[in-house]
Structure 1
Amino acid sequence: MGEGTFGRVLECLDNETKELVAIKVVRSIHKYREAAMIEIDVLQKLVRHDLGGKRCVQIRNWFDYRNHICIVFEKLGPSLYDFLRKNSYRSFPIDLVREFGRQLLESVAFMHDLRLIHTDLKPENILLVSSEYIKVPDYKFLLRPAKDGSYFKNVPKSSSIKLIDFGSTTFEHQDHTYVVSTRHYRAPEVILGLGWNYPCDMWSVGCILVELCSGEALFQTHENLEHLAMMEKVLGPLPQHMAVRADRRAEKYFRSGARLDWPERATSSESMRAVWKLPRLPNLIMQHVDHSAGDLIDLLQGLLCYDPTERLKAREALRHPFFSRDLRRCGYPMWAGVLL
């Protein structure tokens, strides 16, 4: 079903229950085995508290086979990233983004209440419960088709999602000085070496919501200085009080006066172009969202707040006006339009 640095995921049949399951087979390497045992510990804690099993993927069992940790999960659908990729990176309808966001924040709030920080939230780690989808007109391409020649895009039949991959999940009391999160979803305090806590998950949620309604990752970079320059282009200048506290590895990104040393220290003209082409956050959202843009922009400004102490908490975000609209949770989605 999938493969990564940790190992691979196999679709299997449980001979006793006759249920299709997904088994994560972890490579026989010490650090991956350690991460797998942490994940099992977290999963079992989540199962004890998530009685309806609606927020996070459910662990069925685990075993050690020839020094490979094997974790048995309920079988779910594709990740939101895989769905986007197979759909030529066409964005999701805004009402569906709203429902994904609501469920994601509910799951994150649930984890934070348990003193757990996911630390690796990204579309690859959010799975649709069902693989079923429908085709709807893509109104952006009614006058001319998309690159693949299609006037339609796929939309999930059900909006239900669950979080997966708790191998990097950290308890509140553990060490929070090392680097966490996949690059595109990494919070500024992590890059600057200021330590991190629950708010690093909220920054990731903000990046994810932008990606779901635009079809592309917000910060497409692999280098710290370029990443910080992209943040400033989209969100405005970094707060001086954060810049002056940057650790030894990050202080080189700034000039005296805590100004980001950009574009003077850009590694290439391509890097400069990648930053300059980015619009400000409100303009970016209005390019892709026809209604609810104002509420979404306001929510994102709270989630993508540089200062982690001022960033929205999960339960605060759930009370935001963006989530005040209701959405049908079953059957064909209300945004489907004309079905093929």
Structure 2
Amino acid sequence: MPEPAALLGGTFGEVAQGRRRSTGEVVAIKILKKKRYHGRVVKKELKLLQALRGVDTEESHIVRFLESFADGACTYLVFELLEQNLRDFQKKNNFLPLPVRHIRTITVQLLAALLKLKELSIIHADLKPENIMLVDHARYPFHVKLVDFGSACILTEVRHVKQPYIQTRFYRAPEILLGLPFCEKVDVWSLGCVMAELHLGWPLYPGINEYDQVRYICSTLGLPRGEYVFSSLDQLATMLTWDSQERITPSAALEHPFISLQQVKSNG
């Protein structure tokens, strides 16, 4: 069991620096307080981390999970200690755009991570600069690893968003914003947003809410294709008629493709 030392922060749960008694290795310990985290959530993260234990973490650029333990108040997840996250690195460099060669280096490594996750049918679901760690920038410039599987899920177990929050807003894929079926490619969207941010020095889609997020996306990519809109304009046309006799009934409106999502269900 590691001995906790200094706190390192953390978005969900505290992360402390500690030392493994068995090896003397300095490690990062993610602390999940049982009062805050439902047991099912902790079990899900542990299940995913166990699935990753046989992975070559250097080749796949995924953080190395070492062990877990618990007491009456918390569950502790122990990982290799990495240097700093990409957001902190950007901040220290005044959010200046990175040279293209460094962006390419980071992107190649993260694509390797996503490729491995796809092989394991895992969706990370929260890829962002805070969850991309520089391993040891002085010795291995821009050598990165993907961390934090607290939001991750198994592809075969998800078809629709079942929780109100998935992915951080700036990096949230359109299908998540629109409540559509999704797959591992939501992580590819997030990586694209991270790449753009490294080029620009600021987030590509800094929406203040979900509506604003969609507006930003539409401003660069145009309006969604028909399979995303689900003939919403057609349904509006059936609801907004001068003649009430021509206006669609509630029961018919509930059967409209925009509401039923039948087109997407048949394609998914």
Which TM-score band applies after superposition, normalised by the shorter structure?
A: 0.7 to 0.9
Deviation at 1:169, TM superposition (A): 1.1
Counterpart of 1:171, as a letter, is: I
Counterpart of 1:91, as a letter, is: P
What is the aligned partner in structure 1 of residue 158 from structure 2?
175
SS in 2 for 1:173: helix
Structure label with greater radius of gyration: 2
What is the aligned partner in structure 1 of residue 50 from structure 2?
44
C-alpha distance in structure 1 between counterparts of 2:68 and 2:52, whole Å: 15
Counterpart of 1:67, as a letter, is: A
Equivalent of residue 197 in structure 2, options 188, 211, 219: 211
Deviation at 1:85, TM superposition (A): 1.4
C-alpha distance in structure 2 between counterparts of 1:51 and 1:101, whole Å: 16
Equivalent of residue 101 in structure 2, options 90, 95, 103: 95
Equivalent of residue 77 in structure 1, options 73, 83, 96: 83
Do the aligned partners of residues 196 and 66 (structure 1) sit closer, same or farther apart at CA in structure 2, a change above 3 Å counting? same
C-alpha distance in structure 1 between counterparts of 2:60 and 2:181, whole Å: 31
C-alpha distance in structure 1 between counterparts of 2:137 and 2:33, whole Å: 27
SS in 1 for 2:54: helix
What is the aligned partner in structure 1 of residue 247 from structure 2?
none
SS in 2 for 1:69: strand
Larger CA deviation: 96-105 vs 176-185: 176-185
TM-score, L = length of structure 2: 0.78
* 1:187-216 per-position Cα deviation (integer Å, ceiling 9, x unaligned): 111111112111111111110100111111
Contact 2:60 2:112 in 1 (8 A): no
SS in 1 for 2:77: strand
Matches within 5 A, 1:98-113: 98-113=104-119
Are 1:242 and 2:228 matched, yes or no? yes
* 1:141-163 per-position Cα deviation (integer Å, ceiling 9, x unaligned): xxxxxxxxxxxxxxxx5121111
SS in 2 for 1:193: coil
C-alpha distance in structure 2 between counterparts of 1:32 and 1:24, whole Å: 16
Do the aligned partners of residues 170 and 221 (structure 1) sit closer, same or farther apart at CA in structure 2, a change above 3 Å counting? same
Provide structure 1 residue ranges, at least 5 long, that are not aligned to the other structure: 134-156, 258-306, 308-340
Equivalent of residue 146 in structure 2, options 158, 163, 187: 163
Are 1:120 and 2:103 matched, yes or no? no
C-alpha distance in structure 2 between counterparts of 1:129 and 1:33, whole Å: 31
SS in 2 for 1:21: strand
Are 1:220 and 2:226 matched, yes or no? no
What is the aligned partner in structure 2 of residue 139 from structure 1?
none
What is the aligned partner in structure 1 of residue 37 from structure 2?
31
Counterpart of 2:87, as a letter, is: Y
Counterpart of 2:92, as a letter, is: K
TM-score, L = length of structure 1: 0.62
Deviation at 1:117, TM superposition (A): 0.8
C-alpha distance in structure 2 between counterparts of 1:56 and 1:67, whole Å: 28
Counterpart of 1:75, as a letter, is: L
What is the aligned partner in structure 1 of residue 219 from structure 2?
233
Do the aligned partners of residues 52 and 241 (structure 1) sit closer, same or farther apart at CA in structure 2, a change above 3 Å counting? closer
C-alpha distance in structure 2 between counterparts of 1:216 and 1:30, whole Å: 32
Contact 1:11 1:20 in 2 (8 A): yes
The structure, 1 or 2, with the larger RCO (C-alpha pairs under 8 Å, 6+ apart) is: 1
Number of residue-to-residue matches in the alignment? 229
Runs of 4 or more off by more than 4 Å in structure 1? 51-54
C-alpha distance in structure 2 between counterparts of 1:222 and 1:255, whole Å: 28
